[in-house]
Amino acid sequence: MTEVDKIVQDIIDGRRLRGSDNLEFLSSADLTELMAGADKIRETLCGNNVELCAIINGRSGGCTEDCKFCAQSSCHGTDIEHYGFLDKETILKDCAYHEQKGVHRYSIVTAGRTLVGKDFEAACEVYREMHEKYGIALCASHGLLNEEAMQKLKDSGVEMYHENIETSRGYFPSICTTHDFEDKIKGIRAAHKVGLKVCSGGIIGMGEDFNDRIDMALTLAAEKVESIPLNVLIPIKGTALEDMKQLDEDEILRTVAMFRFICPTAYIRLAAGRNTMTDSGARAFRAGANATITGDMLTTSGNNIDQDKEMLKNMDFEI
């Protein structure tokens, strides 16, 4: 039995990796062996189901935050479309479409530091109506909300809140200066406190090293985050990271597998950048991933829902 095989079995038997453990194997082990181990952990502890989710850009552009990766930041000179909070009918129609297509989760995502006032009330109203009309699970992504706002979302039918930490605690100041890492942690804890599940991950390929990714995974494991979206940076012209070199596929796959080892029971959710990999990232679903965003992404092209479902079924996953 190899070192990786032993760790895999230990995780299946209940062990959880910590920062005090020797985690060198995550960066040095043979990639094929690491992926196989992550796949075994996923299948044993999570089953063979894959969860699909979809998002709608509910308010676009003009964000005051300076996140270096984001096309919607007013600090950058991108050609992103600007508009206020979408009308209720547009959101309801889009939600109904995705439920009909067999998507499991649906989320409104809004640009900006937070959502307040009339826009927040409008969001709560449309969540209530979607909850009453449709069977799809509802998620929300509205920036840095407090506990009171989280409770209102939950009362409106929202089940899960999205609050990406983006990267490691140490690297975060290199990516954003208008809010800090602790603001993100406070949001996660506020959501959990009112009984919401949490979807929180980040972006790889922003100049961080592999240890930063390990630290990000350890933080999410410590916060008991239920869903972890992994985005691969798509350098966007006009942003501060427009010249960043694209990650190679093996590095992406190693990162996906690493997250499965550290967060063995979470949904590891492939998000932006999946379509930069061969076969729409099929190998990543054999590296520990068991969820994905499907359809159109916020500012980068996503993958066709029917194609995703066909691919996953052909890989013997249950949707």
One digit per residue, the tens of pLDDT, for the chain of length 319 reads 899 999 999 999 999 999 999 999 999 999 999 999 999 999 999 999 999 999 999 998 888 888 999 888 878 878 888 899 999 999 999 999 999 999 999 999 999 999 999 999 999 999 999 999 999 999 999 999 999 999 999 999 999 999 999 999 999 999 999 999 999 999 999 999 999 999 999 999 999 999 999 999 999 999 999 999 999 999 989 999 999 999 999 999 999 999 999 999 999 999 999 988 988 899 999 999 999 999 854 444 456 899 899 999 999 999 8
> Is 317 within the bounds of a domain?
no
> Is 177 within the bounds of a domain?
yes
Can you give the pLDDT at residue 127?
A: 98
Can you give the pLDDT at residue 301?
A: 43
> Is 123 within the bounds of a domain?
yes
Q: Among candidates 305, 282, 292, which has minimal Cα distance to 35?
A: 282
The three-class DSSP label of residue 167 is: coil
Can you give the pLDDT at residue 135?
A: 96
> Is 46 within the bounds of a domain?
yes
Can you give the pLDDT at residue 62?
A: 83
Number of structural domains the chain divides into: 1
Can you give the pLDDT at residue 32?
A: 98
CA distances in angstroms from 157 to 95, 135, 150, 247, listed in the order given: 14, 11, 11, 38
Can you give the pLDDT at residue 302?
A: 55
Q: What pTM does this model have?
A: 0.95
* Domain containing residue 141: CATH number: 3.20.20.70
> Is 19 within the bounds of a domain?
no
> Is 6 within the bounds of a domain?
no
Range of the domain at 67: 32-311
Can you give the pLDDT at residue 77?
A: 76
> Is 25 within the bounds of a domain?
no
Provide DSSP, 137-197.
EEEEE-BS--HHHHHHHHHTT--EEE---BS-TTTGGGT-SSS-HHHHHHHHHHHHHTT-E
The three-class DSSP label of residue 279 is: helix
Q: Answer whether 197's CB lies under 8 Å from 159's CB.
A: yes
> Is 3 within the bounds of a domain?
no
